[in-house]
A and B are shown apart, each in its own frame.
Chain A
Amino acid sequence: ESVGLHLPTLSVQEGDNSIINCAYSNSASDYFIWYKQESGKGPQFIIDIRSNMDKRQGQRVTVLLNKTVKHLSLQIAATQPGDSAVYFCAETPISSGSARQLTFGSGTQLTVLP
């Protein structure tokens, strides 16, 4: 099973909205997280969503989940230069007990143009 992304790179103008897509194949996936990784740093949590939800909003970010086609997207409103980074989706089956691994996608490089 794997988690994959549609595009390896995305360039947007500052102030525009960004949409980053992710497809997953594991039907048992219960829980999805978007991470942002800046150069030389570790993945930074952005937003999460459980499989019993279709949409979740945070500050300037929205995650949409379409379980029918096993697709999720990250929308960033009014993209800023500080948003330039690699964005990963990750998935895990929710467990009641042990610590579960995250399976990461291959990442999309977002570049914000001035």
Chain B
Amino acid sequence: EPEVTQTPSHQVTQMGQEVILRCVPISNHLYFYWYRQILGQKVEFLVSFYNNEISEKSEIFDDQFSVERPDGSNFTLKIRSTKLEDSAMYFCASSGGLPRAKNIQYFGAGTRLSVL
């Protein structure tokens, strides 16, 4: 069964460092997303991406964040200068092109980001 793959599973970084979280969405999907989940809290939307541009972004997704689809398979989230409060589980999701398929988002297993 196709799945969304995220690497690494756990990333430890020092405050102020740049991190890149990587995702390989399901191959025939057209819509891509990043969410985060702080321990014990709700899953929160960060950004959605379609046709090589950002569709929507939340207020969490400030100038420190950026997304890129550098090739036909990868989808990345970059945090330029990490803060302690960026520590969370980051989930990548993707959805297909047909009307119902577009709304069903499939999630990866997540990358746990720990900022020290």
Contacts and interface: CB of A to CB of B under 8 A. Distances in A.
Interface of A: 31, 33, 35, 40-45, 48, 88, 90, 92, 94, 98-107
A33 B102 CA distance: 12
The dominant DSSP class at the A interface is loop
A48 B43 contact: no
Interface in B52-72: 55-56, 58
Contact of B48 (A42, A44, A48, A98): A98
Contact of B42 (A41, A92, A107): A107
A104 B45 CA distance: 8
Interface of B: 4, 31-33, 35, 41-45, 48-50, 55-56, 58, 91, 93, 95, 99-100, 102-110
Contacts, number: 67
Contacts of A107: 42
Provide the main secondary structure of the chain B interface.
strand
B110 A101 contact: no
Contacts of A31: 103
A42 B110 CA distance: 6
Q: Which of A35, A98, A105 has the most CB of B within 10 A?
A: A98
A106 B42 contact: yes
Nearest to B57: A101
B45 A103 contact: yes
A42 B90 CA distance: 9
